[in-house]
Structure 1
Amino acid sequence: MSVDAEKAGAGDPFTTHRSLLFTVAYEMLGSAADAEDVVQDAWLKWDAVDQREVRDPRAFLVRVVSRTALDRLRTVSRRREDYVGPWLPEPLVTARDVAEDVELADSVSIAMMLVLETLTPTERAVFVLREVFGLDYDELAEAVDKSPASVRQIAHRARSHVAARRPRGDVEPGQARGVFEAFQRAVTTGDLQGLVDVLAPDVVMLGDGGGIKQALAHPVLGADKVSRLLLGGFSRFGAITFSPVDINGRPALIVHLDGEVDSILTVEVEDGLITGVYAVRNPEKLGRIGTETDVSR
């Protein structure tokens, strides 16, 4: 948080809702750095208004963040067209209890964030604000500068789009963690068969190096290819260590190379098997790994 935003006292509505505002911006943008900039902009606008005239500070702040994030999303969407290799959202270290809020954990998961990337900026804003944060259609209309009737159509279109692409199969947090622990044992011990056993036959692995670090140029499909890639890749390096952590509401591993953070490895579990493996190596996306990020609805 910036120095200016820190001026808000403990009882100030901005302070009260800051975690919510960051989460809204992050889910719309997929970048913690961009989300922080949006939240800072919201603070400046909050500080400039006559706060006594604001009947619903939460709604006002969410509206400000949504409009600013939507403007930024239109810019970054064009920028990502030139991104080198697959793009993955910036990973966030989250508290263990985030996984217990199934809706929140699903909404910030890497898999869901990738689905949201396939929406238009306005569809993404409407979906996030309606389905995740429960804004009514009048509030949505103000936030995205559309009529309520238009917002309803956009929401319907976005829901249909997401429903066709989102991860399927409800998994209890405890079961997902158990599957991940089997994955972790197999990766850390080099157990090829053990790794194949926890991967879905059609598992997909994505790697994000951002053109800075070597990573997968294209998705890798299939349990055999993904397992051999993972174990073969790690075997090429010397002092590799793994630390368990929660990333975006899911269990994950921090991969250390010679004592330094090299990458984040997280997975998506459906119906008792891992359907997605995501590796973030781009150092520009690993700056927050040492700090837990508070996300909320």
Structure 2
Amino acid sequence: MDEQELLAARFEEHRPRLRAVAYRMLGSAAESDDAVQGTWLRLVRTDVGDVANLRRWLTTVVARVSLDMLRSRETRRDDPWESRLPAPAVGHDVGVGPDERAELTDSVGLALLVVLDTLSPAERLAFVLHDMFAVPFDEIAPIVELTPAATRQLASQARRRVQGTVPDPGTDMARRREVVDVFLAASRGGDFEALLALLDPDVVLHVDPAATLSGVAGAVGAAAVAGTFAGRASAARPALIDGLPGAVWAPGGGPRVVIGFTVEAGRIVAIGLVADADHLDRMDLRIRDV
């Protein structure tokens, strides 16, 4: 085995962890594979003899690559909404089977992905690396260009937001269903004022990369989100998404786009449009009668 083959073998040992970090940073199986590939390209250009801890080095690099991708994504979020709904995006490493891809999504529900996407890129990185992968703050700090103390505060801010907005299974499901149903009815009817009444003033619309490729844009604030949905959801059907009230666009019976809602105190605080094929495949989707 030559040096290149040995390096590739060592990299493959760390690939599952790298993909898991990237997926929680990016929320897309296709983009996480791109980030892992970018990490490999950086590795082959590096003198590994200078790398004391390969696992730590690779984690840092995939985090930096993912952070750059997140920041680049932020610059594209003012794209206009287009009338056509997105088709699923398919993209993953050759030879990666469904069981491996399942590891990316089984512990990352739609609600958490929606909440993570409301964080700033730096907040998301600090929270993901520290709270999900136990990376020390002194190793995270250089990535976000802050002191360890400031990085700790960044993660703390993110943690409070995540803990405050991920739905509690014990909340009133009937009320949440009602909110979603009224929202869909108001959207179909183009009732802007009714939509405003249902939305938190700081509501965030998250659009995953697969949907973004089709020109669908994210939005922040009740007026912007209400304007996005007014008259738009005529083809969406109410559904249970991993047991939570939401909606799905499924022409021909197959889901193409899922709309997830995070509801707090009777108001919608976050909405997520998901078109990523790998993620859709792992969801428990059940069309329901209103």
- TM-score scaled by length of structure 1: 0.56
State the one-letter code of the partner of 1:134. Answer: A
State the one-letter code of the partner of 1:115. Answer: V
State the one-letter code of the partner of 2:110. Answer: I
Deviation, 1:144, is 2.5
Deviation, 1:72, is 1.8
Alignment of 1:94-109 (within 5 A): 95=99, 105-106=106-107, 108-109=108-109
Aligned residue in 2 for 1:123:
123
Distance 1:18 1:41, change over 3 A: same
Distance 1:83 1:29, change over 3 A: farther
Deviation, 1:166, is 1.9
Unaligned runs of 5+ in 2: 91-96, 185-204, 217-225, 283-290
Aligned residue in 2 for 1:30:
27
- Give the distance between the partners of 2:228 and 2:98, measured in 1 at CA: 28
Tell me whether 1:201 sits opposite 2:178 in the alignment. Answer: yes
Q: Percent identity?
A: 28
Distance 1:269 1:10, change over 3 A: farther
Contact conserved, 2:236 with 2:248, CA < 8 A, in 1? no
- Give the distance between the partners of 1:210 and 1:58, measured in 2 at CA: 32
Distance 1:118 1:137, change over 3 A: same
Tell me whether 1:75 sits opposite 2:72 in the alignment. Answer: yes
Aligned residue in 1 for 2:41:
44
Alignment of 1:47-196 (within 5 A): 47-82=44-79, 84=81, 95=99, 105-106=106-107, 108-169=108-169
Distance 1:26 1:149, change over 3 A: same
Distance 1:162 1:277, change over 3 A: closer
State the one-letter code of the partner of 1:230. Answer: R
- TM-score scaled by length of structure 2: 0.58
Aligned residue in 1 for 2:288:
none
Local SS of the residue matching 2:76:
helix
- Give the distance between the partners of 1:201 and 1:47, measured in 2 at CA: 54
Deviation, 1:62, is 0.6
Cα RMSD of the aligned pairs, angstroms, is 5.1
Local SS of the residue matching 1:118:
coil
Distance 1:82 1:229, change over 3 A: closer
**1:33-86 CA-partner distances (Å, limit 9, x unpaired):** 33222211110121222324322211110100111211221111121232527x
